[in-house]
């Protein structure tokens, strides 16, 4: 029996030879030299696009809780597409506490987080956090429109770095200044990121109107430097800013914020008030119909504008008035005679 050979070991006296060049008898490959020499290497690795060093290693974890609808899922996917420095994770269970997200970010090697929290299958909340030290901000997301839904004409290169445009109010108020720094660190693509492209062809705008932050994404057209909206778009209604990550002392609370439950309650109360008012009007009308009619006394001021007529002298007629002559209709007997003649003619016929 032949001796068993160990796995990975070579047989004694036999060494692995390099692939030799084709012999003279063998045909040379198509497109190569026919003299038997080895062709030069055709494929070469291109040099990197940028020789810079990737220093700002910001990584953003974008994920959500269970119970989100299709619109939120598409919005989350759009943000991952627009941000090459983002990472994804599975949905988090509702029973877990929010501080568990810090551990998830640590396992994913992320220092920023965008977490979508769904409640009652109709309310959407967004957490922006700097993990694990903080700060963090909680927003109510309203008027969500995704890339696929808007069907806009704008377009941009995948992985390109965006310009961040902020409203001037972000430099006046202290809580807006904190949010501006948080937005810059989360939405700004780090320079020389491996998945990013060295182009700037779109703008993220953050505008404050009606005590809310409006997010828009525009394409920069090179010809005339005009803007065309790409999407997605959404509105952020600030609730609170916390000192820690997903909790801690409250740094700022929005006095203009009204919860969705309170908003729905006010709508129900207004509808109920209108219905109650209609019922009261109907009851008053029924009571009026049942009541006995009370005769109104004569109004003394009713005769103020009445002017009495002049009194005429009473004349007594002693002589009988003459009777008018009776004028007989001459055509009437002729008509009667014609009718009689017609009757006679019909009976004879």
The DSSP element (H or E) to which 263 belongs, if any, is helix 260-290
Q: Which residue has the tokens 């927003």?
A: 139
Would you say residue 113 has pLDDT above 90?
Answer: yes
Q: Which residue has the tokens 């002298």?
A: 313
Write down the mean pLDDT value for the chain: 83
What pLDDT is attached to residue 217? Answer: 95
Is the pLDDT higher at 5 or at 160? 160
Closest CA to 128 of 241, 256, 253: 241
DSSP state of 233: E
In a domain, 279, yes or no: no
What pLDDT is attached to residue 26? Answer: 45
What pLDDT is attached to residue 341? Answer: 81
Domain that holds residue 167: 60-262
Q: Which residue has the tokens 């996917």?
A: 77
**What is the gyration radius of the CA atoms in the chain, in angstroms?**
47
pTM given for the model: 0.66
Closest CA to 50 of 158, 161, 155, 185: 161
- Percentage above 70 pLDDT, the chain: 83
Which range among 67-76, 151-160, 235-244 shows the weakest confidence by mean pLDDT? 151-160
The arithmetic mean of pLDDT across residues 211-227, rounded, is 91
**Residues 24-59 pLDDT 10s:** 444 444 444 455 555 555 667 665 555 678 888 889
In a domain, 181, yes or no: yes
In a domain, 165, yes or no: yes
In a domain, 308, yes or no: no
Contact 157, 201 (CB under 8 A): yes
Closest CA to 81 of 236, 234, 231, 207: 231
Report the CATH number at residue 229. Answer: 3.40.50.10480
Instruction: Give the integer Cα–Cα distance in Å for 206 and 180.
Output: 9
Structure confidence at residue 329 as a pLDDT band (50, 70, 90)? low
Phi, psi of 188 (to 5 degrees): -80, 125
In a domain, 44, yes or no: no
Contact 191, 227 (CB under 8 A): no
Closest CA to 146 of 71, 223, 251, 227: 71
In a domain, 76, yes or no: yes
Total of domains in the chain = 1
**Residues 285-322 pLDDT 10s:** 998 888 877 777 777 788 788 887 778 777 887 888 88
In a domain, 52, yes or no: no
Instruction: Give the integer Cα–Cα distance in Å for 64 and 74.
Output: 12
**Residues 152-192 pLDDT 10s:** 888 889 889 999 999 999 999 999 999 999 999 999 999 88
* Residue 21 neighbours by CB under 8 Å, 6+ apart: 36, 37, 38
In a domain, 313, yes or no: no
Tokens for 42?
């055709």
Structure confidence at residue 198 as a pLDDT band (50, 70, 90)? confident
């Amino acid at each position: 029996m032949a001796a068993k050979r160990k796995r990975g070991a070579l047989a004694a006296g036999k060494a692995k030879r390099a692939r030799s060049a084709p012999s003279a008898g063998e045909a040379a490959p198509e497109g190569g030299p026919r003299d038997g020499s080895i062709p030069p290497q055709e494929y070469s690795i291109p040099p990197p696009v940028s020789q810079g060093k990737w220093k700002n290693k910001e990584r953003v974890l974008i994920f959500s809780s269970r119970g989100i609808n299709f619109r939120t899922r598409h919005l989350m996917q759009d943000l991952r597409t627009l941000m090459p420095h983002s990472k994804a994770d599975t949905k988090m269970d509702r029973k877990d506490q929010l501080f568990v997200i810090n551990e998830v970010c640590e396992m994913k090697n992320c220092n920023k987080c965008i977490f979508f929290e769904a409640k009652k299958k109709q309310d959407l909340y967004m957490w922006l956090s700097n993990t694990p030290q903080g700060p963090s901000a909680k927003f109510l997301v309203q008027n969500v429109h995704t890339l696929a839904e808007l069907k806009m004409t704008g377009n941009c290169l995948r992985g390109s770095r965006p310009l961040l445009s902020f409203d001037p109010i972000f430099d006046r108020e202290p809580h807006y200044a904190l949010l501006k720094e948080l937005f810059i660190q989360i939405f700004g693509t780090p320079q020389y990121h491996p998945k990013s492209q060295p182009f700037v062809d779109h703008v993220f705008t953050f505008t404050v109107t009606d005590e809310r932050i409006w997010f828009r994404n525009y394409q920069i057209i090179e010809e005339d430097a005009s803007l065309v909206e790409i999407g997605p778009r959404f509105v952020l209604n600030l609730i609170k800013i916390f000192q820690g990550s997903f909790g801690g002392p409250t740094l700022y609370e929005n006095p203009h914020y009204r919860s969705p439950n309170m908003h729905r309650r006010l709508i129900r109360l207004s509808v109920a008030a209108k219905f109650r008012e209609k019922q009261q009007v109907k009851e008053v009308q029924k009571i009026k119909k049942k009541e006995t009619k009370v005769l109104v006394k004569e109004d003394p001021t009713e005769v103020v504008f009445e002017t009495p007529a002049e009194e005429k002298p009473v004349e007594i007629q002693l002589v009988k008035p003459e009777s008018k002559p009776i004028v007989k209709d001459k055509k009437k007997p002729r008509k009667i005679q014609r009718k009689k003649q017609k009757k006679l003619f019909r009976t004879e016929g």
